[in-house]
């Protein structure tokens, strides 16, 4: 068998597998439909904290939940699943920054260090940043 034919077979095979995974939903990204979905997903992992307010990102890939104890709950899409975090002041790796409607958040958690989150308006991004600087936040 010639090397050219072998390379062509490998390329076609790998392309076929990637296409099949995509067509069967393997590349689909999780989304939060609304505030109720964010509350429900957070409640699965953290049923005790009372949720005061919910802030969804513009594309629904994350939600920030103000909790009655001063901490912030986060529900974020990772692939086709969600991760949840309960964040206190000691979990931040610097102050959150806002640029336009985008909030940049860095956490000390090496398994999920945060990221950039875009909201519908700059005011909402600033409101979420303020959650992390609220007086009485738990360390």
Domain limits for position 11? 1-28
Instruction: Kindly state the greatest CA–CA separation across the chain.
Output: 72
Whether 138 is in a domain gets the answer: no
Residue 107 covered by a domain: yes
How many angstroms separate the CA atoms of 129 and 132, rounded? 6
Whether residues 58 and 24 fall in one domain: no
- Tokens found for residue 126: 């600033």
Beta-strand ranges (E) seen in 1-139 are 51-56, 62-67, 72-78, 81-87, 97-99, 102-106, 114-118
Per residue in 26-80, pLDDT tens?
667 788 989 999 999 999 999 999 999 999 999 999 999 999 988 999 999 988 8
pLDDT digits (tens, 9 = 90+) for 119-134: 999 999 999 999 988 6
Q: 11-20 pLDDT, tens per residue?
A: 888 888 888 7
Q: Is residue 137 part of a domain?
A: no
Identify whether residues 15 and 80 lie together within a single domain.
no
Q: What is the CATH number of the domain that holds 67?
A: 2.30.29
């Amino acid at each position: 068998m010639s090397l050219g034919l072998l390379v062509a077979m490998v390329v076609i095979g790998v392309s076929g597998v990637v296409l099949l995974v995509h067509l069967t939903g393997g590349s689909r990204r999780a989304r939060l439909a609304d505030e109720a979905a964010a509350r429900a997903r957070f409640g699965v992992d953290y049923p005790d904290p009372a949720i005061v307010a919910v802030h969804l990102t513009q594309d629904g890939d994350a939600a920030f939940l103000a909790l009655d104890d001063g901490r912030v709950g986060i529900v974020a899409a990772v692939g086709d699943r969600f991760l949840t975090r309960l964040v206190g002041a000691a979990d931040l790796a610097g102050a959150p920054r806002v640029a336009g409607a985008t909030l940049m958040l860095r956490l000390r958690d090496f398994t999920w260090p945060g990221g950039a989150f875009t909201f519908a308006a700059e005011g909402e991004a600033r409101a979420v940043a303020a959650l992390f600087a609220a007086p009485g936040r738990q360390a």
